[in-house]
Amino acid sequence: NQEHVESQHMMGVSLSKGKGVKKDPKEAFSWYLRAANRGYAQSQFAVAEAYRTGSGTKKDLKKAAEWHARSAEQGHPTSQYRLGEMYANGQGVKQDWVQAHQWCILASTLGGTPPTDCKKRNEKKMNAEQLKEARAKAGEWIHSHRPR
C-alpha cells in the first residue's frame, strides 16, 4: 500500500541524512530501492541520484539515466531536468539533443529546477527541425499524462 512505500522512502531519507539514526548511505539506498521498485517517483529519483553520484552504491550513469527516466515519466520535474542534462551531455545515454530539450521543456512546464539555462543551451545546439520535434514530443507527453 501507499503508506508502506512512503515509510520505506522516509526510512531512506532518515538514513541518508542521519536523522534520528546513524547516517548510512548504503542502507539508505536499499530502502530507496525498495520503494522505487514499487513505483514511488521520489524514491526513483533518489535511486537515480545515488547511481549518478555513487552515494551508497557504485556509480553507474546508465542506471542513473534509467531510474531518472522512470521518475521523469511519472512527472517528477527534477528527474525530468536531470534526464535532459544526461541526454545533453551523453551521460549514461547516447547524446540526443531532441530528448534533452524535450525533458528540459517538461521540467520547466511542470516546475522544479529553473531550466532556462538548459533551454538556451539546447536551442543553440539544435536546428529548427530538432526544436520542432522536441516541442512536439513534450506536447504529446503533456497531453498523454493529463489527468482524465
pLDDT digits (tens, 9 = 90+) for 62-119: 999 999 999 999 999 999 999 999 999 999 999 999 999 999 999 988 775 566 678 8
Q: What is the chain's percent helix, strand, coil content, to nearest 5?
A: 75, 0, 25
Question: How far is it, in rounded angstroms, from Cα 35 to Cα 40?
Answer: 6
d(CA 82, CA 77): 9
Q: How does pLDDT run across 2-29, given as a tens digit for each residue?
A: 679 999 999 999 999 998 899 999 999 9
Report pTM.
Answer: 0.91
